[in-house]
Amino acid sequence: MASERILIRGGQVVTENGVSVADVLVEGERIAAVGQGLDATSAAVFDASGCLVMPGGVDVHTHMGMPLGDIRTSDDFETGTIAAAFGGTTTVVDFANPVRGQSLLEAFETWRRWADGSVVIDYSLHVTVPEVRASTGDEMARLLDRGVTSFKVFMAYPDTLMLSDPELGAALRWAASSGALIMVHAEDGLAISQLVNEAIRAGHTDPMWHVRTRPPALEGKAAAKVIAMAGEVGASLYVVHLTCRDALLEVARAKAMGQAVFAETCPHYLFLTEEHVARGGFEGAKYVCSPPLREASHGQALWGGLADGTLDVVATDHCAFNFVGQKDRGIEDFRRIPNGLPGVETRLFLLWQGVREGRLAPERFVGLVSTAPARMFGLWPRKGEIAPGADADILVWDPDKETALSCSSLHTAVDYSPYEGMKVKGGVVRVYSRGHLVIDAGRFVGTRGHGRFLPRTRPVLPGRASVL
């Protein structure tokens, strides 16, 4: 549902720079004006009194319809982006994941075919680099021309995704010369493999051994190593799904030295712990993800990192596998449990609890879930802003609305919720995507295929101007 002219009247407009009572005028797909007493002539008026008006969420870490061997994540681009919209997110950046031997460009085009015509909100793509060959630099350059300005590399998963040190160095040097951003999954893959093999030989097969074979020290060690490598060549680095004090300290040290190192965490590392994985029977498999959930004190450290700026973004790593028929493949061997948790719909609900508890200011909330990710991944100021000229991606939010998180009421195509039974304060009233109403009072009123692919510019990083 769309209107040529929409006036959202009387809400508290929240941006990363402040909070003020104002009207927001939308003309077509863009914000035309923000201010008090705006002209409502010929406009469809929505009274947002008592609500907050914020830029729609930008989730820069999702996996929709991702193949994993002979299975796929349970959410495809349609169901996943509908769930995102119900959670107040209006843009996702997913990952095209080539296998070794496959062209990066071919994987990019495959993911575009899966998404185009299915997404209900706007989207973009990162591309994973599973190996560095003679042609890789040229392929990355061609993708850069197509608006892919961030590339993911792995220090985990030997034999499938993990880059060798020379390959990792080559990717970082290319990024330094091109202005692209390298995203890194930082865990010591070889050391983890050794621990996993030792556990299996000792007969340890239950889900908790996924946690025990991926200790925080190996995440911290990998983070220190890749940060040092990036510093040597002058590459900008973004650490994905940071989980623990060990890695957080490495990022803090690098920032203090002026290095262009940035990091995200995810809501499950703030609200869940390894005790969830330790639940009786096979129930803990629902909470198996990589890096794994940690002991509770690590989550407290992450909240501190969000408040003090060590952490830059809260994304979801939405990677939903059904408990029945997918996660239960590992019932006799934790190595076979598909790693990942659903989260694209619950991100804003959960993080808002940090505002209610006084951990975060509303402005910081908007920065973490919308403006900073838009800026760092080449989508700002089109996304992540309530300002004239920005896309009319607008979230109307009731800060006091009570929401119960349950599989039965959420909209992802997965058969469980890691937050089952949790009640939160704060919820979605309306969501607009480029001026089109997609969520209205708990109903989906959007359109399949409304979303568009977003070519991105090179990132605008704190302390550094874009090279474009």
CA–CA dist 461, 86 (Å, integer) = 29
Query: What are the residue boundaries of the structural domains of the chain, listed by start?
Result: 5-54+387-443, 56-376
What is the model's pLDDT at position 77? 98
Report residue 156's pLDDT band, with 50, 70 and 90 as the boundaries.
very high
State the amino acid at position 216 in one-letter form: P
Sequence-distant (6+) residues with CB within 8 A of 421 are: 404, 405, 406
Q: Which of 126, 38, 13, 92 is nearest to 345 (CA)?
A: 92
State the amino acid at position 249 in one-letter form: L
CA–CA dist 247, 222 (Å, integer) = 8
Q: Is 228 helix (H, G, I), strand (E, B) or coil?
A: helix
CA distances 23 to 100, 227, 311, 467, Å, are 51, 44, 32, 35
pLDDT in tens, 261-296: 999 999 999 999 999 999 988 999 999 999 999 999
Dig out the tokens for 348 from the structure.
């804003």
Q: Which of 99, 32, 22, 106 is nearest to 67 (CA)?
A: 99
What is the model's pLDDT at position 463? 55
pLDDT in tens, 1-31: 445 899 999 999 999 999 999 999 999 999 9
Report residue 460's pLDDT band, with 50, 70 and 90 as the boundaries.
confident
Looking at the predicted structure, is the pLDDT value of residue 162 above 50?
yes
Question: Cβ(155)–Cβ(184) under 8 Å?
Answer: yes
Query: What one-character DSSP code corresponds to residue 287?
Result: G
The DSSP-derived string for 313-339 is EE---B----TTTTGGGGTT-GGGSPP
Q: Which of 60, 69, 66 is nearest to 126 (CA)?
A: 60
CA–CA dist 445, 37 (Å, integer) = 28
β-sheet bridge partners, residue 432: 394, 437
Determine the CATH number of domain 56-376. 3.20.20.140
Question: Once rounded to an integer, what is the mean pLDDT over residues 395-420?
Answer: 97
Phi, psi of 232 (to 5 degrees): -60, -35
State the amino acid at position 30 in one-letter form: R
CA distances 335 to 33, 278, 290, 407, 453, Å, are 53, 16, 12, 26, 35
Burial 274-292 (b: 16+ CB within 10 A, else e): bebbeeeebebbbbbbbbb
What is the model's pLDDT at position 371? 98
Looking at the predicted structure, is the pLDDT value of residue 388 above 60?
yes
Sequence-distant (6+) residues with CB within 8 A of 266 are: 61, 241, 314, 315, 316, 317, 343
Q: CATH assignment of 5-54+387-443, given 1.10.3470.10, 3.30.450.90, 2.30.40.10, 3.20.20.450?
A: 2.30.40.10
Question: Cβ(413)–Cβ(75) under 8 Å?
Answer: yes
Question: Once rounded to an integer, what is the mean pLDDT over residues 181-193?
Answer: 98
**% helix / strand / coil in the chain, to the nearest 5?**
35, 25, 40
CA–CA dist 468, 454 (Å, integer) = 17
Looking at the predicted structure, is the pLDDT value of residue 465 above 50?
no
Average per-residue pLDDT for the chain: 96
Burial class (CB in 10 A: 0-12, 13-18, 19+), 47: exposed
β-sheet bridge partners, residue 89: 57
Share of the chain above pLDDT 90, in %: 96
CA–CA dist 87, 113 (Å, integer) = 25
Strands (E) across 386-449 are located at 394-405, 422-433, 436-440, 443-444
State the amino acid at position 280 in one-letter form: G
pLDDT in tens, 90-119: 999 999 999 999 999 999 999 999 999 999
CA–CA dist 455, 367 (Å, integer) = 22
Q: Is 187 helix (H, G, I), strand (E, B) or coil?
A: coil
What is the model's pLDDT at position 1? 44
Of the chain, the end-to-end C-alpha distance in Å amounts to 35
Q: Which of 82, 78, 97 is nearest to 153 (CA)?
A: 97
CA–CA dist 343, 94 (Å, integer) = 14
Describe the crossing of helices 165-178 and 216-233 by its angle, rounded to 10 degrees.
Answer: 50
What is the model's pLDDT at position 461? 76
Strands (E) across 302-393 are located at 313-314
Question: Once rounded to an integer, what is the mean pLDDT over residues 309-336?
Answer: 98
Question: Once rounded to an integer, what is the mean pLDDT over residues 58-62?
Answer: 99
Report residue 467's pLDDT band, with 50, 70 and 90 as the boundaries.
very low
Low-confidence winner among 82-91, 358-367, 453-462 (lowest mean pLDDT): 453-462
Is the omega angle on the peptide bond into residue 381 within 30 degrees of 0, that is, cis?
yes
Do the bridges between strand 122-128 and strand 150-154 make them parallel or antiparallel, or are there none, so unpaired?
Answer: parallel
